[in-house]
């Protein structure tokens, strides 16, 4: 079996099965992702009851994940900006020391 061949897996998300071809190294990540989606959807179902359908629960899961991604992006941007400012301050300190 060549390294370029992908692994065929089937993930069950709520009541549906989704066949996928994934990299061998990503199989566990995809399975854990599906498990998290199912867990979170079940939490929404228990919170809001069966008056909603699975599409509503999946929409809430998608919103939750999108919110987390935006938080991570903002944190990463802030961390990068802070590191850049710290480097500039160090360079300024060094410049001041050598030019006094």
pLDDT of 34: 96
The answer to whether the beta carbons of residues 61 and 40 sit under 8 Å apart is yes
23 alpha carbon, distance to own chain's centre: 18
Q: What is the pLDDT of residues 26-61, one digit of tens each?
A: 999 999 999 999 999 999 888 887 777 888 899 999
Burial, 20: exposed, middle or buried (Cβ in 10 Å; 0-12, 13-18, 19+)? middle
Residue 83, both tokens? 């590191």
Residue spans per domain, the chain: 7-98
Is pTM, for the whole model, over 0.85? no
């Amino acid at each position: 079996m060549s390294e370029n061949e992908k692994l065929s897996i089937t993930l069950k998300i709520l009541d549906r099965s989704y066949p996928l071809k994934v990299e061998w190294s990503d199989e566990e990540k995809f399975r854990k992702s599906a498990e998290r989606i199912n867990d979170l959807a079940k939490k929404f179902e228990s919170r809001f009851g069966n008056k909603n359908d699975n599409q509503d629960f999946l929409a809430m899961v998608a919103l939750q994940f999108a919110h987390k991604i935006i938080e991570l992006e903002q944190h990463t941007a802030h961390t990068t900006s802070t590191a850049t400012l710290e480097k500039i301050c160090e360079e300024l300190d060094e410049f001041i020391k050598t030019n006094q």
